[in-house]
Amino acid sequence: MKLTIPLCTAASIIALASHAAVQTPVDTLITNGHILTMDAQKAEFPHGLVAIKDDRIIAVTDGSDVASYTAKRTLDAKGDIVMPGLINTHTHVSMSVFRSLADDVPDRLHRYIFPLEGKLVSRDMVRIGANLGNVEMLKGGVTTYADMYYFEDEVAKTVDTIGMRAVLGETVIKFPVADAKNAQEGINYALNFIEQYKDHPRITPAFAPHAPYTNTTETLKQLSKLSQELDVPVMIHLAESHRESEKIAERSGGLSPVAYMNEIGALNDKLIAAHVINADDADIALLKANDVGIAHNMSANIKSAKGVSPALKMFDEGLRIGLGTDGPMSGNTLSTLDEFNQVAKVHKLANKDRAAMPPIKVVEMATIGAARALHMEEQIGSLEVGKQADIIIIDTKAPNMVPIYNPYSALVYSAYSSNVKHSFVAGRQLMQDRKILTVDESKIIEEAQGFAKIVRKTVIESGEKVQ
Amino acid sequence: MKLTIPLCTAASIIALASHAAVQTPVDTLITNGHILTMDAQKAEFPHGLVAIKDDRIIAVTDGSDVASYTAKRTLDAKGDIVMPGLINTHTHVSMSVFRSLADDVPDRLHRYIFPLEGKLVSRDMVRIGANLGNVEMLKGGVTTYADMYYFEDEVAKTVDTIGMRAVLGETVIKFPVADAKNAQEGINYALNFIEQYKDHPRITPAFAPHAPYTNTTETLKQLSKLSQELDVPVMIHLAESHRESEKIAERSGGLSPVAYMNEIGALNDKLIAAHVINADDADIALLKANDVGIAHNMSANIKSAKGVSPALKMFDEGLRIGLGTDGPMSGNTLSTLDEFNQVAKVHKLANKDRAAMPPIKVVEMATIGAARALHMEEQIGSLEVGKQADIIIIDTKAPNMVPIYNPYSALVYSAYSSNVKHSFVAGRQLMQDRKILTVDESKIIEEAQGFAKIVRKTVIESGEKVQ
């Protein structure tokens, strides 16, 4: 009989020693990842690990302590990028069923979208569109999103089912809409929704006044007061269009939209303002002083030729700002990863400086910056002990990702949404090797295709433009 | 015993009748496609067919004649988009092995890229990089590309193997480079390469003087003359940078790069000019009058903050212009599909008009426009009888592509490179369900990763910036 005597190397002694010591039990251990923590130091571990217990991260290390954990499940990242889930700070997810309709119609919101919505928004449409958009986002690395639309309780159900995280704002607007005849009915709808979801671990219900010019001063003041009392966010489109600037200047005796919101006491740490394109230095100072969160939607803003937001300036001055896609009729995709490229390049172009927007800033605006924009940086946006385990893993061996000398550069200039392999939210794996584990993707797509037939019929019957 | 008697419908009578008639034998029949022909009328067949025999298209129809073909193989496109393969009019494919290096270094070409290339360009590097870039392009829907680099005979071998189509330009430059000590050696190298490949069915060898300011007037004149004699293209970077404009103005007594090229007799129907950013109306008129092809590289041009080319104006005025990605250190991806979005949006932004760049124009610039830019519109760029069967099929059921009301809009604003399912070049299927049939993708990626180790070591040893 031959005895096999193991070689006793220094490494094995350490491993044995650590095995002998008390081990930390964890649910999931992600090993051998190129970890971008996105913490304050932007710590990066090329061969690191992340340990998850329940819904939280309990360790993020360089990987040298790998033997000190016992895990129910170990996922070998094989050198792929492990990073915080992306946060889409602004969308209208259910509008996915309208995507690619009449993209180039001038004054599109008022001439096309509002009338279209008048005919087609329903509880069913909201559910079908949200299901489709959720799938697209999750497959593109988004784990949290902020939504403004109608029937947000339907969106909430879809988010609950797929397992993602969201801030969901019920629209308040002075015109009759599908789920409310006027602003007060919208507020009542929102109050019910907030009551229903205020204790949900992954869903934050919110008010969503459409914009300053589509609401009265009284409504905006009322929502500001209610949001403080109930401790819920208020999401609004702000400083987005020249029409808005004109209307608000008329109403306020010449104030900018931001200055007007300040004047009426509606700028505060509950507010999340989408777009903020038409903002001067004084406006930026007001947004900063009042701790307002900002959603920067580069792709939608340039598609509509509205202009380039001073987002880089706001970011550099320390404002709470993150990336958003806007709705799928606007962007037209829903993963911020699809936009990284444009965000970096258009800010370089606008600043006439190739060094103006280094890739790491873009990734920051999609993760911890976006978490700050939603006032959620204590929970999400970086891989740090104690935070929620919202994590994505990105393929580094796809042809478009090889080679990687700088992972931030690879993410911003080379990555596709389809390079996202795995997603976790609150410690639960929602996607594995691009397969969504919690919902039936093909059924969702079939349902959306079915609804598209109704849309097509309605649009054609109205004699409106399809293309 | 029960007899099953088939119902004799009108449709089956027609089918029987056409079966009885003489049928056309074809190699491949693509049925049930949403066909975008990109012909002069932009004919579109929502349930159409394309018939391929040998390397050519022999029918493109609305599908009603489907029974009149006998095919060796039938591919049911199941409603997916069937369109001409994309044509990338400008790249440096082998630089894929340098991707994500030092993206934000100012004056990067002269301070970083030329010295890096001095150390690392070799026959091996060119082959490894070309293999990687070919795979990325093919998976992103590119079937033809135009390349400018060194050791182009190595690139040609990779193109021949994978089965794609390419215009390959051997660099001529006045500095010593990896495969030539001076411009004359570069010309000699190119002449040998042209001799070797002039009769290849899918490879067009070409001269590639780097730029006007990196070559002498004599060299540029000599190449212009040779290109006419040998009937081969000349590819050049033109009107790309302020440095170039200054150097050429010094040399020519104040002329713009385009005017200088005209002055020395180098603007003609063999020339393909990349970038053309700094061109005024007089320059555009010269380019048009001389039938010059133009490669528009939006993504690379804005990443380097060089500016927005008047590409839309040139397109609208009927110039030969198509999309290019530039090299993978510049763009940084290689499929023009990744850029559609940016091309549309940045032209809208630059023109302050959401209707300035309808999606169909972008698709045209990526297909028949790009074919015109390469002076190859008789062979490729649209699905028309007699043309080469260079065809791609794009998934319309991916979550980011559902629903589709306008296929051009879906391609430009929603599609990812990873939505390309199948590719054909010259009638031969090169990719099926995203699997490349002609080369071993994983081996190519491993080899690129191996070379990246050498790059990393060299860069770090030089004390140069990686990030």
pLDDT in tens, A221-259: 999 999 999 999 999 999 999 999 999 999 999 999 999
Among chain B residues, CA nearest to A338: B416
Cα–Cα distance measured from residue B188 to residue B223, given in angstroms and rounded to the nearest whole number: 11
Mutate to test the interface with A, among B104, B329, B441 (most CBs of A within 10 A): B104
Is A300 among the domain residues?
yes
Of B96, B13, B57, B47, nearest to B334 by C-alpha is: B96
Note the pLDDT of residue A467: 53
Average pLDDT over residues B382-386: 98
Q: Which residues pair with A433 in a beta bridge?
A: none
Contact A441 B400 (CB under 8 A): no
- Nearest by CB to residue A414, choosing from B99, B304, B352, is B99
Is A65 among the domain residues?
no
Q: Which residues pair with A81 in a beta bridge?
A: A34, A394
Tell me chain A's radius of gyration from C-alpha atoms: 23
Residue B33 — very low, low, confident or very high, per pLDDT cuts 50/70/90? very high
Judgement on whether residues B185 and B263 belong to the same structural domain of the protein: yes
Contact by Cβ (8 Å): A412, A363: yes
Judgement on whether residues B38 and B182 belong to the same structural domain of the protein: no
A438-450 pLDDT, tens digit each: 999 999 999 999 9
Contact A354 B106 (CB under 8 A): yes
Is B269 among the domain residues?
yes
> How many pairs of residues across A and B have Cβ atoms under 8 Å apart?
207
Among chain A residues, CA nearest to B102: A406
Contact B345 A303 (CB under 8 A): yes
Q: Which residues pair with A71 in a beta bridge?
A: A26
Average pLDDT over residues B256-276: 98
Contact A100 B139 (CB under 8 A): no
Q: Tell me how close the Cα of A103 comes to any Cα of chain B, in angstroms.
A: 7
Note the pLDDT of residue B84: 98
Judgement on whether residues B219 and B262 belong to the same structural domain of the protein: yes
Indicate if the pLDDT at residue A20 is higher than 70.
no
First to last CA, chain A: 80
Is the whole-model pTM more than 0.90?
yes
Contact B405 A456 (CB under 8 A): yes
Among chain A residues, CA nearest to B340: A342
Average pLDDT over residues B336-341: 94
Q: What ipTM is given for this predicted complex?
A: 0.92
Cα–Cα distance measured from residue B267 to residue B294, given in angstroms and rounded to the nearest whole number: 12
Note the pLDDT of residue B364: 98
Q: Which residues of A touch B340 (CB under 8 A)?
A: none
Indicate if the pLDDT at residue A172 is higher than 50.
yes
Kindly state the tokens that stand for A316.
Answer: 């550099």
Is A22 among the domain residues?
no
Note the pLDDT of residue A151: 98
- Nearest by CB to residue A402, choosing from B349, B351, B449, is B449
- Nearest by CB to residue A406, choosing from B346, B414, B467, is B467
- Domain boundary residue, one of B348, B378, B408: B378
The label of the residue with tokens 């850029």 reads B339
Q: Tell me how close the Cα of A466 comes to any Cα of chain B, in angstroms.
A: 6
Side by side, the strands of the sheet bearing A165-172 are A86-91, A142-149, A165-172, A203-209, A234-238, A271-275, A293-296, A320-323
Mutate to test the interface with B, among A96, A400, A417 (most CBs of B within 10 A): A400
Contact B103 A413 (CB under 8 A): yes
Mutate to test the interface with B, among A36, A413, A446, A464 (most CBs of B within 10 A): A413
Q: Residue A264 is part of a domain; what is its CATH number?
A: 3.20.20.140
Q: Which residues of B touch A164 (CB under 8 A)?
A: none
Q: Tell me how close the Cα of B97 comes to any Cα of chain A, in angstroms.
A: 6
Note the pLDDT of residue B450: 97
Note the pLDDT of residue A465: 60
Judgement on whether residues B158 and B22 belong to the same structural domain of the protein: no
Note the pLDDT of residue A104: 87
- Domain boundary residue, one of B363, B378, B393: B378
Judgement on whether residues B239 and B183 belong to the same structural domain of the protein: yes
- Nearest by CB to residue A101, choosing from B358, B405, B408, is B405
Contact A397 B348 (CB under 8 A): no
Q: Which residues of A touch B101 (CB under 8 A)?
A: 405-406
- Parent domain of A117: 85-380
Of B429, B348, B438, nearest to B389 by C-alpha is: B429
Indicate if the pLDDT at residue B11 is higher than 60.
no
Indicate if the pLDDT at residue A464 is higher than 90.
no
Is B341 among the domain residues?
yes
Judgement on whether residues B44 and B91 belong to the same structural domain of the protein: no
Note the pLDDT of residue B20: 52
Judgement on whether residues B69 and B183 belong to the same structural domain of the protein: no
Q: Which residues of A touch B456 (CB under 8 A)?
A: 405
Least confident of A119-133, A212-226, B94-108, B304-318: B94-108
A373-414 pLDDT, tens digit each: 999 999 999 999 999 999 999 999 999 999 999 999 999 999
Judgement on whether residues B70 and B90 belong to the same structural domain of the protein: no
Q: Is A65 helix (H, G, I), strand (E, B) or coil?
A: coil
Q: Tell me how close the Cα of B140 comes to any Cα of chain A, in angstroms.
A: 9
Q: Tell me how close the Cα of B188 comes to any Cα of chain A, in angstroms.
A: 33
Is A259 among the domain residues?
yes
B98-121 pLDDT, tens digit each: 999 988 888 888 888 898 999 999
Backbone angles phi, psi at A148, to 5 degrees: -125, 115
Q: How far is CA B18 from the centre of its chain?
A: 40
Q: Tell me how close the Cα of A48 comes to any Cα of chain B, in angstroms.
A: 20
Q: Which residues of A touch B455 (CB under 8 A)?
A: 403, 405
- Domain boundary residue, one of B331, B357, B378: B378
Among chain B residues, CA nearest to A450: B403
Residue A247's CB is within 10 A of a number of other CB atoms, namely: 16
Kindly state the tokens that stand for A190.
Answer: 């929102």
Considering its fold, how many domains does chain B have in total?
2
Judgement on whether residues B93 and B16 belong to the same structural domain of the protein: no
Judgement on whether residues B162 and B208 belong to the same structural domain of the protein: yes
Contact A344 B303 (CB under 8 A): yes
Judgement on whether residues B222 and B280 belong to the same structural domain of the protein: yes
B308 to each of B87, B273, B282, B305, B312, how far by Cα in Å?
Answer: 21, 15, 17, 9, 10
Contact by Cβ (8 Å): A149, A155: yes
Contact B99 A466 (CB under 8 A): no
% of chain B at pLDDT higher than 90: 89
Of A20, B302, B320, nearest to B311 by C-alpha is: B320
Residue B465 — very low, low, confident or very high, per pLDDT cuts 50/70/90? low
Contact by Cβ (8 Å): B445, B132: yes
- Nearest by CB to residue A416, choosing from B413, B417, B444, is B417
Mutate to test the interface with A, among B42, B93, B100 (most CBs of A within 10 A): B100
Is A50 among the domain residues?
no
Note the pLDDT of residue A460: 75
Indicate if the pLDDT at residue B1 is higher than 70.
no
Is A397 among the domain residues?
no
Q: Which residues of A touch B349 (CB under 8 A)?
A: 302, 305, 307-308, 346
B120-172 pLDDT, tens digit each: 999 999 999 999 999 999 999 999 999 999 999 999 999 999 999 999 999 99
Indicate if the pLDDT at residue A188 is higher than 80.
yes
Q: Tell me how close the Cα of A346 comes to any Cα of chain B, in angstroms.
A: 7
Indicate if the pLDDT at residue A142 is higher than 80.
yes
Question: What is the pLDDT of chain A when averaged over all its residues?
Answer: 94
Among chain A residues, CA nearest to B436: A399
A79-117 pLDDT, tens digit each: 999 999 999 999 999 999 999 998 888 888 888 889 899
Cβ-Cβ contacts under 8 Å for B423 (sequence gap 6 or more)? B85, B138, B141, B143, B391, B392, B393, B429, B430, B431
Note the pLDDT of residue B5: 41
Judgement on whether residues B64 and B91 belong to the same structural domain of the protein: no
Cα–Cα distance measured from residue B379 to residue B386, given in angstroms and rounded to the nearest whole number: 8
Of A165, A310, A294, nearest to A235 by C-alpha is: A294
Average pLDDT over residues B400-414: 96
